[in-house]
């Protein structure tokens, strides 16, 4: 992935504004440290900060067609680029080996319908100079795995700013909104248009399909396989929890299968990564002795990965919080707690030479894995909550995974949010997803990979390959990342906030922060730091706080240990 910054229909002299645009683009250069590009045409400026993962020799951006009437800048990975290239009606000589160039040529043939055809994670902006005035089209992936913002200046409402992160817009624009996932923006009418319209998207439509364990397993396996596309060293984030462990196990199996098959070029998916780098590297982080470190060690040994275990101290974590909030561009308590160790780990991963990792985000939203789901009052309400959580992933876990890693030019890919996998998993009836005292959360995805579960539908050949994971890991209770890195981590943050925010300050929180008033000292502390970086009122609009369903009778504390069902509840 990369960083993009664009100004469309600039109201002044673009030649004079070019250096300012470059300076604003530089603020997202951490996302793309490998190369920078800029195209100025008429009254628009397109900038790009590149992280080279695919097409590393020829993939510099912005991209243009032969007569330069279309300009494109992309942050993302298009997993079905080979398939889309084969579907082009007019043969085109590609200028690069990048997976993203196909967007330009497909748009040239079918316009904005290209958005729904893309299988991947992406944010992009395209300038079509074939029309008068020139047309801006920008789009964001269906779930919002990549980040994107749109800004305007009230004095010049026809000028549109597009950026991967808030920090490139906060001094320039007095109106900023997060670009909605699954939409494209069209300057022709100045509106967002939803292109992602799966049948499961409406919460009120309750899924009715009985679980098919084999379909779940095959769909997740395919999702992992296509995400092995790379020309650089890559690995897996391995916390030792169910989700990251499953992704790691599948990745190891698929990488071995691909590297053993020299004919894999015939596939629709790009499998270069597994053939170039067949040995899987795994990475974990935590305070010394953390539950996740112990579990990850066991999984790595089981999978025979090249394992890298990183530790940090409480003080190192506290010292990083201000930088984390700057990169995250949020003050949400849950996100800051979990992002700090991920941010620290990403820096160490980048130092190893690895530039891309697979991660397990999304499973808890899809399958109702958070412990508060045990309190769901009915199957229908359980289902509605999973759909709403998927809707809001771009404000929490996707934001964390994207910005914590991209702060160091490391790309994170998330197989659980694959479009085709979601189509299978989100249509499973909620009765099959429910958890209780007798049924562990996310039981159906555990069973789908449990070779001892008779109804999973494994073939004799698959059974001969052995278990995916040690049984105690496959059936390990949900441990939220901010808990799993060490139980003292969250406790230390609360203690730090208690000593940093006075009772008097907390009593005046409503006056100090009349909008979205913090309710705890920890929330107050993060809000203070956020406003030091982003004092403009426009920067508040994109922040959403993650909280459990207190109306279900569970604790408002977002920590998993705050729920009574947790084995180590406090």
pLDDT tens for each residue of 241-266: 999 999 999 999 999 988 887 544 45
Measured CA angle at 374 (ends 372, 376), to 5 deg: 85
What average pLDDT does the segment 36-41 reach? 96
> Which residues are registered as beta bridge partners of 122?
76
The predicted pLDDT at position 481 comes to: 66
* Other C-beta atoms lying within 10 Å of the C-beta of residue 68: 10
38 is catalytic: no
Whole-number average pLDDT of the chain? 93
| For residue 188, pLDDT beyond 50 | yes
**Confidence label for 482 from pLDDT (cuts 50, 70 and 90):** low
> Which residues are registered as beta bridge partners of 186?
137, 191
Query: Hey, what CATH topology would domain 213-490 get?
Result: Rossmann fold (3.40.50)
Phi, psi values for residue 82, rounded to 5° = -65, -40
Could you tell me which residues come within 8 angstroms of residue 326 by beta carbon, excluding any fewer than 6 positions away?
167, 533
CA distance 6 to 170: 14
| For residue 569, pLDDT beyond 90 | no
The predicted pLDDT at position 182 comes to: 98
The pair of structure tokens assigned to 506 is: 């907390």
CA distance 118 to 144: 14
- Element at 171 (helix H, strand E): none
The pair of structure tokens assigned to 176 is: 């900023």
CA distance 413 to 345: 16
Note whether 78 and 59 are within 8 A (CB): no
The model's pLDDT over 318-371, given as tens digits with 9 standing for 90+, comes to 999 999 999 999 999 999 999 999 999 999 999 999 999 999 999 999 999 998
Catalytic residue among 2, 398, 435, 554: 2
| For residue 287, pLDDT beyond 60 | yes
Crossing angle of helices 521-533 and 314-328, in 10° steps, is 50
The predicted pLDDT at position 498 comes to: 97
**Confidence label for 564 from pLDDT (cuts 50, 70 and 90):** low
Question: What CATH class has 3-194?
Answer: alpha beta
> Which residues are registered as beta bridge partners of 234?
356
The predicted pLDDT at position 263 comes to: 46
> Which residues are registered as beta bridge partners of 126?
72, 137
**Confidence label for 159 from pLDDT (cuts 50, 70 and 90):** very high
Helices (H), 408-520: 419-425, 443-448, 460-464, 471-474, 481-484, 487-500, 503-507, 509-512
> Where exactly are the structural domains of the chain?
3-194, 213-490
What average pLDDT does the segment 483-490 reach? 84
- Element at 38 (helix H, strand E): strand 35-41
| For residue 563, pLDDT beyond 70 | no
The predicted pLDDT at position 2 comes to: 93
- Residue with tokens 């979990």, as numbered in its chain: 338
């Amino acid at each position: 992935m990369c960083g993009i910054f664009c100004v469309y229909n600039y109201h002044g002299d673009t030649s004079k504004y070019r250096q300012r645009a470059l300076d604003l683009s530089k603020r997202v250069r951490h996302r793309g440290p490998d190369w920078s590009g800029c195209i100025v045409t008429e009254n628009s400026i397109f900038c790009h900060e590149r992280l080279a993962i695919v097409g590393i020799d020829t993939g510099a951006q912005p991209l243009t067609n032969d007569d330069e009437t279309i300009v494109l800048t992309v942050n993302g990975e298009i997993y079905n680029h080979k398939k889309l290239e084969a579907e082009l009606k007019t043969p085109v000589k590609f200028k690069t080996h990048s997976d993203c160039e196909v967007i330009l040529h497909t748009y040239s043939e079918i316009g904005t319908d290209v958005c729904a055809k893309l299988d991947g994670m992406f944010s992009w902006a395209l300038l079509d100079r074939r029309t008068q005035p020139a047309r801006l089209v920008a789009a964001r992936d269906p779930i919002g795995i990549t980040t994107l913002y749109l800004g305007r200046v009230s004095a010049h409402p026809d000028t549109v700013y597009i950026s991967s992160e808030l920090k490139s817009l906060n001094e320039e624009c007095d109106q900023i909104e997060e670009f909605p996932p699954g939409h494209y923006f069209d300057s022709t009418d100045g509106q967002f248009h939803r292109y992602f319209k799966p049948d499961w998207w409406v919460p009120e439509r309750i899924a009715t399909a009985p679980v098919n364990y084999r379909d779940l397993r095959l769909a997740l396996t395919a999702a992992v396989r296509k995400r092995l596309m790379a020309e650089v060293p890559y690995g897996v984030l391995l916390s030792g929890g169910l989700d990251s462990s499953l992704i790691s196990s599948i990745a190891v199996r698929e990488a071995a299968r691909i590297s053993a098959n020299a004919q894999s070029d015939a596939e629709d998916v790009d499998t270069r990564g597994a053939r170039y780098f067949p040995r899987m590297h795994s990475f974990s982080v935590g305070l010394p002795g953390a539950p996740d470190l112990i579990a990850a060690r066991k999984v790595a040994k089981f999978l025979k990965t090249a394992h890298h275990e990183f530790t940090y101290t409480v003080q190192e974590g506290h010292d990083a919080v201000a930088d984390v909030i700057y990169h995250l561009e949020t003050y949400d308590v849950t996100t800051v707690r979990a992002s700090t160790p991920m941010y620290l780990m990403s820096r160490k991963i980048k130092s190893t030479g690895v530039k891309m990792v697979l991660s397990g985000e999304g499973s808890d939203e899809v399958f109702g894995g958070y412990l508060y789901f045990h309190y769901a009052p009915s199957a229908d309400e359980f289902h509605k909550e999973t759909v709403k959580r998927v809707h809001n992933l771009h404000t929490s876990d996707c934001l964390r995974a994207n910005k914590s890693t991209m702060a160091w030019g490391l790309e994170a890919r998330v197989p659980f949010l694959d479009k085709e996998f979601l189509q299978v998993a989100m249509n499973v009836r909620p009765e099959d997803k429910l958890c209780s005292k007798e049924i562990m959360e996310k039981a159906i995805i555990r069973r789908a990979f449990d070779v001892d579960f008779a109804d999973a539908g494994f073939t004799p050949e698959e059974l001969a390959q052995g278990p995916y994971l040690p049984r105690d890991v496959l059936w390990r209770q949900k441990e939220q990342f901010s808990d799993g890195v060490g139980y003292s981590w969250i406790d230390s943050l609360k203690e730090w906030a208690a000593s940093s925010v006075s009772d008097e300050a907390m009593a005046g929180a409503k006056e100090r922060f009349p909008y979205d008033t913090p309710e705890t000292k920890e929330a107050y502390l993060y809000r203070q730091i956020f406003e030091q970086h982003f004092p403009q009122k426009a920067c508040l609009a994109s922040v959403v706080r993650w909280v459990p369903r207190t109306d279900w009778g569970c604790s408002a504390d977002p920590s998993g240990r705050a729920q009574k069902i947790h084995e180590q509840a406090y």
